[in-house]
Chains A and B, each alone.
Chain A
Amino acid sequence: MKRLLTAAVAALLLASCSTTGTESPKDNAPVQLLVFGSPDELAAYRTLVSAYKGGQVQLVEAADRKDLITKLSTSIAGGAPQDLFLMNYRFYGQFAAKNAIEPIDDQLKKSTVIKAADFYPEAMKPFQWAGKQLCMPQNVSSLQVYYNKGLFTKFGVAAPKPGWTWTDMLTTAQDMTRDAAGHVVKATEPEAGATPPAVHGLGTESVMIRLAPFVWSNGGQLVDNDAKPTRFTFDTPAAREALKNFIDLRLGYGVIPTDDEVKAQDLVARFTSGKLAMLLESRRITPTLRAAKELSWDVAALPTYKQPGGILHSDAYCITKASKNKESAWKFMEFAMSPEGQRIIAATGRTVPSHIATAKSNAFLDGNAPAHAQIFLDAVPSLKAVPTISTWPEIEDITEGILENALYRGDKLDDVIAEIDKQTKPIFARGEAS
Chain B
Amino acid sequence: MRRSAWWMLAPYLIGLLGLVLIPFGITVAMALTEYDLINPPEWLGWANFRELWHDDGFRTALMNSLVFAAIAVPLRLGIALMLALLLHRRAFMAGSARTAAALPTAVPEIAYGLLWLWLFNPSFGPINQVLGPLFNRLGVLAPRWLTMPADARAAIILMSLFTIGEMFVILVAARQALPRDAYELAEIEDATGWDIFRRVTLPMLAPVLGVLLIRDTIMSLQLSFTPALVVTKGGPPPHSTTYLSLFVYRNAFEYLRYGYAAAATVIMLALTMLAVLIQAVILARARQMRR
Decide whether A and B assemble into one complex: yes
Interface residues in chain A, defined as those with a beta carbon under 8 Å from any beta carbon in chain B: 2-3, 5-6, 8-10, 12-14, 16-17, 66, 69-70, 73-74, 76-77, 94-95, 98-100, 190-193, 259-261, 263-265, 391, 393-394, 397-398, 400-402, 404-405, 408, 423
B131-146 at interface with A (beta carbon < 8 Å): 135-136, 138-141, 144, 146
Stretch among B120-128, B160-168, B271-279 lining the A interface:
B120-128
Residue in A9, A70, A260, A401 whose CB lies within 8 Å of B253: A70
Is B95 located at the chain interface by the 8 A CB criterion? Answer: no
**A10 and B238: CB pair below 8 A?**
no
Q: Which residues from B are CB-within-8-Å of A16?
A: 26
14 CB contacts below 8 A, A to B, read A9-B33, A9-B41, A66-B253, A66-B254, A73-B256, A76-B37, A94-B36, A261-B123, A391-B255, A397-B254, A404-B235, A404-B236, A405-B236, A405-B238
**A13 and B254: CB pair below 8 A?**
no
**A408 and B238: CB pair below 8 A?**
no
Q: Which residues from B are CB-within-8-Å of A70?
A: 253-254
A256 to chain B, nearest CB (A): 14
Q: Which residues from B are CB-within-8-Å of A17?
A: 37
**A9 and B43: CB pair below 8 A?**
yes
Is B78 located at the chain interface by the 8 A CB criterion? Answer: no
CA distance A394 to B136 in the complex (A): 39
**A14 and B40: CB pair below 8 A?**
yes
CA distance A69 to B253 in the complex (A): 7
A87 to chain B, nearest CB (A): 13
Q: Is the interface of B mostly helix, strand, loop or mixed?
A: loop
**A6 and B41: CB pair below 8 A?**
yes
**B147 and A77: CB pair below 8 A?**
no
Closest to A91 in B: B254
CA distance A162 to B237 in the complex (A): 36
Is B68 located at the chain interface by the 8 A CB criterion? Answer: no
Is B29 located at the chain interface by the 8 A CB criterion? Answer: yes
A319 to chain B, nearest CB (A): 15
**A69 and B254: CB pair below 8 A?**
yes
**B123 and A260: CB pair below 8 A?**
yes
A341 to chain B, nearest CB (A): 29
Q: A66-B254, A260-B122 are in contact. Are A12 and B26 (CB under 8 A)?
A: yes
B89 to chain A, nearest CB (A): 43
**A9 and B121: CB pair below 8 A?**
no
Is B203 located at the chain interface by the 8 A CB criterion? Answer: no
A402 to chain B, nearest CB (A): 7
CA distance A378 to B253 in the complex (A): 38
* Residue among A12, A17, A95, A402 having the largest count of chain B Cβ atoms under 10 Å: A12
B151 to chain A, nearest CB (A): 11
Q: Is the interface of A mostly helix, strand, loop or mixed?
A: helix
Residue-wise, chain B 9-35 has the 8 Å CB interface mask toward A (1 for contact) of 000000000000000011001101101
CA distance A6 to B139 in the complex (A): 62
How many interface residues does B have (CB within 8 Å)? 41
Q: Which residues from A are CB-within-8-Å of B238?
A: 398, 401-402, 405, 423
Residue in A95, A393, A408 whose CB lies within 8 Å of B38: A95
Q: A2-B43, A2-B45 are in contact. Are A401 and B237 (CB under 8 A)?
A: yes
Is B42 located at the chain interface by the 8 A CB criterion? Answer: yes
**A260 and B32: CB pair below 8 A?**
no
A90 to chain B, nearest CB (A): 13
CA distance A12 to B250 in the complex (A): 23
**A6 and B33: CB pair below 8 A?**
yes
CA distance A263 to B142 in the complex (A): 15
Residue-wise, chain B 34-71 has the 8 Å CB interface mask toward A (1 for contact) of 01111111110100000000001000000000000000
**A192 and B136: CB pair below 8 A?**
yes
Closest to B23 in A: A16
**B43 and A5: CB pair below 8 A?**
yes
**A393 and B237: CB pair below 8 A?**
no
**B253 and A73: CB pair below 8 A?**
yes
**B255 and A393: CB pair below 8 A?**
yes
CA distance A263 to B124 in the complex (A): 10
Q: Which residues from A are CB-within-8-Å of B35?
A: 13
Q: A100-B38, A259-B236, A398-B238 are in contact. List 13 more A-B contacts (CB 8 A).
A: A5-B32, A6-B41, A8-B29, A76-B37, A95-B38, A99-B39, A193-B139, A264-B124, A393-B255, A400-B237, A402-B237, A423-B56, A423-B238
**B40 and A77: CB pair below 8 A?**
no
CA distance A94 to B238 in the complex (A): 23
Q: Which residues from B are CB-within-8-Å of A193?
A: 136, 139
B211-261 at interface with A (beta carbon < 8 Å): 235-239, 250, 253-256
Closest to A5 in B: B43
Closest to A73 in B: B37
**A10 and B41: CB pair below 8 A?**
yes
CB-CB nearest 6 A-B residue pairs: A401-B237, A264-B123, A77-B37, A6-B43, A260-B122, A70-B253
CA distance A76 to B237 in the complex (A): 32
Q: Which residues from A are CB-within-8-Å of B147?
A: 259-260, 263, 408
Residue in A260, A265, A405 whose CB lies within 8 Å of B146: A260
Q: A9-B43, A394-B255 are in contact. Are A73 and B29 (CB under 8 A)?
A: no
A350 to chain B, nearest CB (A): 24
Q: Which residues from A are CB-within-8-Å of B135?
A: 192
**A77 and B38: CB pair below 8 A?**
yes
Q: Which residues from A are CB-within-8-Å of B122?
A: 260-261, 263-264
A168 to chain B, nearest CB (A): 31
CA distance A408 to B125 in the complex (A): 21
Closest to B34 in A: A430
Closest to B254 in A: A66
**B254 and A263: CB pair below 8 A?**
no
CA distance A76 to B255 in the complex (A): 15
CA distance A192 to B140 in the complex (A): 5
Closest to B29 in A: A9
B178 to chain A, nearest CB (A): 47
Q: Which residues from A are CB-within-8-Å of B237?
A: 400-402, 404-405
A157 to chain B, nearest CB (A): 26
Q: A2-B43, A13-B26, A391-B255 are in contact. Are A263 and B146 (CB under 8 A)?
A: yes
**A13 and B30: CB pair below 8 A?**
yes
* Residue among A6, A17, A66, A74 having the largest count of chain B Cβ atoms under 10 Å: A6
B164 to chain A, nearest CB (A): 27
CA distance A76 to B32 in the complex (A): 22
Closest to A408 in B: B147
**B38 and A98: CB pair below 8 A?**
yes
A13 to chain B, nearest CB (A): 6
**B123 and A73: CB pair below 8 A?**
no
